[in-house]
Structures are given as C-alpha cells and as structure tokens.
Amino acid sequence: MIHSSHWGAFRARVVEGRVVEAVPFEADPDPADLLRNIPAAVHARNRVARPAIRRGWLEGRSRAEAPRGADEFVEVDWDTALDLVVGEIRRVHAEHGPASIFAGSYGWSSAGRFHHAQTHLHRLLSASGGFTASTGTYSHGATSVLFPRIIGYDANVSDSHTWDEIAERTEIWLMLGGVPAQSMKIDSGGMGAHRGAPGLDRVLRAGVRAISVNPIDGETAQADTLEWLPIRPGTDTALLLGIAHTLQDEGLEDRAFLDAHTVGYERFAAYLRGETDGTPKTAAWASAITGIPAGTIRSLARDLASSRSLVTATWSLQRAEHGEQSHWMTITLAAMLGGIGRRGEGFGIGFGSSDGIGSNRQPFGVPQPARARNPLAGAEIPVARITDALERPGGAYDFNGQRRTYPDIRLIYWVGGNPFHHHQDLVRMERAWQLPETVIVHEPWWTATAKRADIVLPATTSLERDDIGAKSSDVWIMAMKRAIEPVGEALDDREILRRIAQRLDCEEAYTGGFTLRGVYETSRREAAEYGIEMPDFDTFWEQGYARVPPAPQRSHMAQLLAGVPLQTPSGRIEIFSETIDAFGYDDCAGHPMWFPKREDAEAGRYPLHLISHQPATRLHSQMDMGPVSATRKVGGREVCRIHPVDAAARGIGDGDAVRLFNDRGACLASAALTEQVMPGVIALPTGAWFDPDPETGLERHGNPNVLTPDIGTSKLGQGTSAHTARVEVERYAGEPPPVEAFALPPMSRA
C-alpha cells in the first residue's frame, strides 16, 4: 500500500491487519533508515487506546493535590470526552474570552497535508470564536523575523541555490554548521525521492572545496571528503567578522557590489575597524573567541575572495542567543565578496537542514485545506515563548519592533505536536504547565505531553487514514493510502474536530466543504495555470503518485542584479537597517555584531558547551520507541559524545552512564568517546522522550532540553536559544534507574 512520511515515501506491507514492513518507494535513490521504525511505532504498546480524562481534573481536585504528569487517567467513551471538551471551550469563552484558549499546536504530526493537524484545529477554533495562536518556528524563528527586514523575504524557505548550480559553478563552499546528514533525510510533507545527499555527492565529485565549520565532525554528509574546521559553539559570528576584517584590511571587498546593491556598509565597517567600540574585529580577535587560528582565518578570507565562493549557514546557527547575528553576518560577508545574485555564489540558508533545500520550489500550492482566518487578529505569541506566556499573563514583552502583552491562557489545546520534546528548560516548563485550568491533547501515543494533559483523545496515525503527501520542493505528490484499521478507538483529528464542531454549531464553517479529491483538484488547477500538467484525481489515486516537472529557478538576488528592488525600505540588502536600529534593542542593533553570551559567565562551574543536535535515529521525538532509535541507545539511554581528553579528566570511559547537569536540571546518558567532537564540547541529540524521576527530578532517558535555556534569541526575533548552553558531566555512581518513558500512565475505566 503506497504511503509517505516526513522521512520518505514507502509501500506498507500488511499481514493480518498489522504493518510489518515499510518498503522504500522504488524511485527514491537514498531512502531513510528511519522507515524501519514505522511498524513498531504504529503498533506500539503505548498507543492511546481510548479517550482518557485525568482523574484529578475530572473530580475537581487542585493541581497541587493531583498534578499533571503524576495522576491517574480514567478511560471514558467518546461522547463523554467530547462533551467535556465542548463544555470547556464554552466555559472559557464565557468566563475569559476566546483569547484565553492557546492553540498554537506546534508540531510536525504527519506528512499528510489534508489531515494537517494544526490547520484543522485552527479551523475549528476560528469557526467557534477565535483563539491565541503562535507565530514562527523552532527551526528558524529568529531569522524568519530578521530576513524580511534586511533582504525583503524569508531566505530560510526560498531562493536557495540548487545542487547542480553549486556543482557547476562554485569553487569554494564555506559551510557554517556543515550539511547535517540526518536532517537531509527529512522534510515537512515528505518526499518521493531524497535529493539532498545525492546532490551533495555531485557537488563533491565536481571538485568543489567544501569546508565544514562545526564543533562536531562526522555529522555532515560525506564528512570524509570535507575539510573540518572545528569552532567553539555559538561563535560563528566572530569568525565571519574576522574574515570580513581581513577582506577590508587587505582591500579585498567588492566595493562595486556594496555601493550598487547594499546600504549601510560604511557604518558596519566602522564597527569592524573598532571605531565605534574600540575593538577591531581582527583575525586575532576572532581567534581568541572561536578557537580557530588567526592565520587560518586570514587564509580563508583570501581564498574566498579569490574564488567563486558560496557561504551557507544551517538553521541551527540561529537557535542560539543572538542567533540573528550569524545569519545577518553570513549575508554581509557574501555581499563583501560580491557574488550575490550569481549562480553558485553568494549565500545560502538551510543547506542540510532539510532535504528540500537545494531544490527549486513549485509555484503552485500543495493539496491541502485552506488555513482559517482567526477572528482575533493579532492574537499570537512567538512560538518559543510559551513558558513565559504561562508564567506571566498580562506581562509585557518586545517582539519585532512591537511592545506586546502575553494573554491570560486558561485552556491549552494541542494537536499533532509534543512540546515536552521541542521546548527548552523542561523542568521550568513542567511547572508552568500546571498553571492553565485545562489541557486538551490529541495523540496516537502516551507521550510526555499526553501524560501531562487533562483530556487525551486517541488519534490515528497516517497509516490509518487516506491522505496526500507533498511539499513544494519535491517533484512527487504521493497518495497516502490507508493501510490498516484504526488502532483501538482512535479517530482522525479531522473527525474528532468535526464532532466537536457539530456540538458547537459550527460544523459547516469548520469543514469548509474540503475533501481529499477537492484539495487535489484545486492544486491541479493551480498547476495548470503555470503550464504544469497533473493527472486527474482518480488516475493519481490509482497510480499512487503524480510526478511533476522540476520547478524553474526563481532568485530574488538575480532579480536585484537585473534592477528589480528588494522588498526592503531601501530596495537593497540592508547591512545596516535603520528600522531595526530605531527599535533601540540592547541585544540586536542596526548591523550585525558580536555579543558575548550570558552562559559564558558560568564557564567556571559548567565548562562544557552542550550541542543538542537533531537525531539520526528518529524525527525529533517521533518513533523514539522504534528499533532504529532503540538499538543505538546504550542501557536504554541516549548516547552523548565527548572528546577523550574531556572524558579522561572526569574518569569517564566509553559506554559509562553519565550525568549531565547545570542549574536548570540534570539528565542521564551513555558516554561515547570520540575525537569527532572538539574538546570542550559535549553532544547529546534531541528526541529521547522526557522521563523525569518523580522523586528526584533526574531525567533518566537523555533528553537535553532539561539543560537548555529558555531565553529568546533577542527582542527582535524571540526565537529559541537551545544551542547556548553550558553543562558539566560526571560518571554516574551506582546503578542507573530504569527508563520509564514509554510506560503507560496509571489507568482505570469509568
């Protein structure tokens, strides 16, 4: 049965009603090993079988007496559960207003676009009066705010160079953050054929000199054919400033490009020379911060200036305090080199951050229902500020030039996501999560978020419903055919919300008449307007896929060279932004610059930089119970990588259970000694299900987000700062406690 996922298309092999294998789609040249997780995940013992209500909430007890995450659940029938949901929505509307319902509902859910969970929840709550939403992403929240200010569009998701252009034109490629192999296996909406790793292979076979700037070696695809330039985490901006200073000092910058296509270079250059703060940003200055020799920085600057050069930055760089600066400086350096707008030169954002970067994007929309207009215009918070909002209702905060106020959140409604995976400082978040009056969650599994809800509604996985998988950067549109019957009493999110809408008297407004056939045919008509032919729905469904021609390249920067202004106040690249400068922020000025990190004040107590990178064995926290994820753990715990020098200083051996800790929390992991992590750095991937010991609070499974700080990147972007974290590590004394992340909560029947 043809199907698709965020990590690739496949054919489900079903025996006696159970998925037993996910066979890679025959057109995929580089299928993901993650497919092997699917059968175990679909039939996991921790599936949510029936609607369940937290007993303390059901009986009206205080959360101090019966806190979320430590209470029994009572299984009820669907009518009882839905009546409780409707009653809560109506109660909160009447007592506090719809803005007190938070339904950001951030998460990847499934690759299916018709059953996109967040879209359907927003349609329901818009139809019933409104809600508070979230804006931005954890992936690139900071620079999604920055880029429209300085280049007029969001470079995170558009306008990238193609792999073929890089192979044909680029001579030297400076990869800030590398090109992570594991992230090139996934993309929102899935793919019929992976193109990231094959594209990189073409680039390297073409003889492009590729330099991976990363605290971790081996994470980058084709790592053995790249130059590894290890750098202290969070210091990429300083490196770029040191390169820029060398260019200016030696007269290597492209003044013709700067004069014609940018504004504000002279004000930035004064900072570069140290005229505004007394500190020239020399290669020696950058070396002291980054750990990269000054001679290497100067040589790199000269090589970039004398070659057709491309400077790219992964999304991960901006997930740090002052994360806007590294990407702003990436564009500034590319402008100084003068190649912006030419094929295979200039800058690129997000290479390696997902499979679709490096592929052209289709001009027509993928098949999906229309997003609803929230009647509460402007009722939103930055996605990574959820804990702040829960802690400080009515509190003021800065965001993108505005002074805003946090809503008074009384009801959280979350569908298709797991904030106890992707948020930071989870111990603090768990305390804040106790504050709302009600938490409603749809989930296929008993995740940490489901265990901390009041009403849990069992949702199907994508293999239990019909859907369509698609993304704008892929040439494949995939039928996602139902392979098995729903597990337990699970319903599709759309059907759950339809039944709620029926009770709220807004069913027609919620459904909007959208059908699977209808959204496909709408997409087909849009494609035809661009001269792209797609088969009709019946042919598509019977065949199992549609293949469309590769999209033509569209480049804002090539248009800039042709005289088409950017959508910025100046119409040019804004090396200095008068708009941002006028905001008066102390953590994001009018041009890119270096800011010391507040975590560095704790370097004496916590000498190791923590890198919480994307896992290779699962998508975020999805399918953590699967065999690919489970077999690569040691002692049931996630593996952290540490340099042998750092391990020896602490008496840590390979395979030892270790405790990572700082003032925010502590977690257990298993140590792996490797020289692929630079000294002073410890790497622990995200995604191990949150599993705190109820007595001690020690996280037992290896979830790094008990250690990461929950602070905004700056007042401009308010993105996540997960990669600005310092820790210490020690060998764990005694027998490690058992991991209970996948255990069912205590349960009874009504």
Q: Assess whether 17 and 36 both reside in one domain.
A: yes
Decide which of 104 and 174 is more confident: 174
Question: Helices (DSSP H) in 338-384: which residue ranges?
Answer: none
Collapse the DSSP code of 467 into the 3-class scheme (helix H, G, I; strand E, B; otherwise coil) and give the result.
Answer: strand
The pLDDT of residue 203 is above 70: yes
Strands (E), 81-225: 101-102, 133-135, 172-176, 209-213
- What CATH number is attached to the domain comprising 187? 3.40.228.10
Amino acid letter for position 343? R
Query: What integer is the mean pLDDT of 448-477?
Result: 96
Helix (H) or strand (E) holding 441: strand 438-443
Rg (C-alpha) for the chain, rounded Å, is 25
**Whose structure tokens read 């210490």?**
728
**DSSP assignment string, 71-116:** S-EEE--HHHHHHHHHHHHHHHHHHH-GGGEE--------SBSTT-
Clarify whether residues 406 and 347 are in a common domain.
no
161 contact partners, CB below 8 Å, separation of at least 6 = 170, 310, 343, 344, 346, 348, 358
What's the CA gap between 673 and 31, in Å, rounded? 29
Quote the pLDDT of residue 224. 75
In tens, the pLDDT along 333-365 reads: 999 999 999 999 999 999 989 998 888 888 888
What is the arithmetic mean of pLDDT over 646-657?
Answer: 98
Task: Give a yes or no: residue 683 inside a domain.
Answer: yes
Bridge partners of residue 608, in order along the sequence: 727
Q: What is the mean pLDDT of residues 157-162?
A: 80
Region of residue 501 (left: phi > 0; alpha: psi -120 to 50; beta: else): alpha
| Rounded (10°) CA dihedral 590, 596, 598, 602 | 180
Shared domain for 713 and 727, answered yes or no, is yes
Specify whether 179 is located in the same domain as 321: yes
Mean pLDDT over each residue of the chain, to the nearest integer: 96
Is the same domain home to 92 and 124? yes
Report whether pLDDT(63) > 90: no
To 10 degrees, what angle do helices 294-305 and 236-249 make? 60
**Which domain CATH number covers 717?**
2.40.40.20
Q: What CA–CA distance (Å, rounded) separates 314 from 178?
A: 7
Mean pLDDT of 717-726: 98
Q: Which of 479, 512, 545 is the last residue of a domain?
A: 512
pLDDT at 145 over 80: yes
pLDDT value at position 221? 62
Position 740 in a domain? no
pLDDT of residue 362: 86
259 pLDDT exceeds 70?
yes
- Report the pLDDT value the prediction gives residue 62, as an integer from 0 to 100: 83
Q: By three-state DSSP, how is residue 386 classified?
A: helix
Q: Are residues 123 and 146 in the same domain?
A: no
Residue 388: phi, psi to the nearest 5? -55, -45
**Contact between residue 687 and residue 228 where contact means Cβ atoms under 8 Å apart:** no
**Range scoring the smallest mean pLDDT among 318-332, 487-501, 614-628:** 614-628
Q: Tell whether 120 is covered by a domain.
A: yes
Please indicate, yes or no, if residue 441 is contained in any of the structural domains: yes
Which residues are identified as catalytic? 106, 108
Task: Print the domain residue range for 154.
Answer: 142-362+555-583
State the CB neighbour count (10 A cutoff) for residue 266: 10
Two tokens at 423?
Answer: 């948020």
What pLDDT score was predicted for residue 694? 94
Q: How high is the pLDDT of residue 300? A: 99
Q: Quick one: pLDDT at residue 599?
A: 96
- Interatomic CA distance for residues 30 and 25, integer angstroms: 10
- Residue % of the chain over a pLDDT of 70: 99
Q: If you ran DSSP here, which 8-state letter would residue 621 be given?
A: T
Residue 104 lies in a domain: yes
pLDDT digits (tens, 9 = 90+) for 7-56: 999 999 999 999 999 999 999 999 999 999 999 999 999 999 999 999 99
Q: For 2-16, 54-68, 636-650, 701-715, which range has the lowest pLDDT when averaged over its residues? A: 54-68
Does 101 score more than 90 pLDDT?
yes
In whole angstroms, what is the distance from residue 529 CA to residue 546 CA? Answer: 17
Residue 676's SS3 state is: coil
Whether residues 49 and 124 share a domain: the answer is yes
Predicted confidence band of residue 553 (pLDDT cuts 50, 70, 90): confident
* Residue for token pair 């993901």: 32
> Is residue 574 domain-shared with residue 625, that is, in the same domain?
no
What is the DSSP annotation of 482-523? --SPPSTT-B-HHHHHHHHHHHTT-HHHHHTT--HHHHHHHH
* CB-CB neighbours of 726 under 10 Å: 24
Do 162 and 93 lie in one domain? The reply is no
pLDDT category of residue 220 using cuts at 50, 70 and 90? low
Determine, yes or no, domain membership for 534. no
At 77-96, the pLDDT tens digits run 999 999 999 999 999 999 99
Do 238 and 332 share a domain, yes or no? yes
Query: Do 127 and 236 fall within a single domain?
Result: no
Q: What are phi and psi of 205, to 5 degrees?
A: -65, -25
Q: Residue 459's beta-bridge partner residues? A: 491
Write 730-735 long-range contacts (CB < 8 A, 24+). Answer: 730/650, 730/652, 730/658, 730/659, 730/661, 731/650, 731/651, 731/652, 731/653, 731/656, 731/657, 731/658, 731/659, 732/656, 732/657, 732/658, 732/659, 732/668
Say if 438 falls within a structural domain: yes
Report pLDDT for 260: 98
Domain match, 201 and 317 both: yes
Q: What's 50's domain CATH number?
A: 3.40.50.740
pLDDT exceeds cutoff 80 at 396: yes
Neighbours of 336 (CB within 10 A): 29
Look at residue 73 in the predicted model and tell me its pLDDT: 98
Please write the tens of the pLDDT for every residue from 292-320: 999 999 999 999 999 999 999 999 999 99
Quote the number of domains for the chain.
3
CB 149 within 8 A of CB 263: no
Q: Is residue 65 part of a domain?
A: yes
Average pLDDT over residues 549-554: 79
